[in-house]
Amino acid sequence: MKTVDRVFGWLLFLGGIGHGLGCLKAYGHSPELLLWSECATLAGWLLAGLNLLRAGRPTDRALGWVSFVGCLGWVVVTLAFGRLIENMLDFRALINLILALALAAFSLRTALGTITQIELPRPVEQG
């Protein structure tokens, strides 16, 4: 499951690269729109990085909660984008929604501490 978790994180990062290049092509003539569009690219990269960090620290519950809330925010953004373009089944909206929901599930699992933690053996008491 750890590998699947990381794959989703890297897919979100790669999607950010595609978004950034697409924004440059679409809004290169409009610096204001380009700036805000590239801010969304940065947000996606930060969320991907947060999830990749969380995947490597499966017992960090605080990081799990931060990542979970970020993923829920990304779900809201993708749903809003789908409604704005009036096509909830658009590939861009749909793939980001799937990635965000999967990463939210992995993040919640980390946040709730449901991953088995390694316990060190306790010393045997003498006497």
What is the pLDDT, as a whole number, of residue 109?
A: 96
pLDDT over threshold 90, residue 127: no
Say what the pTM is: 0.85
Residue (of 109, 124, 85, 86) closest to 8 by Cα position? 109
33-50 pLDDT per residue, tens = 999 999 999 999 999 999
Residue (of 46, 24, 45, 44) closest to 35 by Cα position? 24
Per the CB < 8 A criterion, the answer to whether 118 and 89 are in contact is no
What is the pLDDT, as a whole number, of residue 49?
A: 97
Report in angstroms the alpha-carbon separations of 65 from 68, 69, 71, 114, 119. 5, 6, 10, 13, 23
pLDDT over threshold 70, residue 57: yes
pLDDT over threshold 60, residue 122: yes
For 50-105, strand residue ranges (E) read none
Residue 68 corresponds to which amino acid?
F
58-104 pLDDT per residue, tens = 999 999 999 999 999 999 999 999 999 999 999 999 999 999 999 99
Residue 36 is given by DSSP the state H
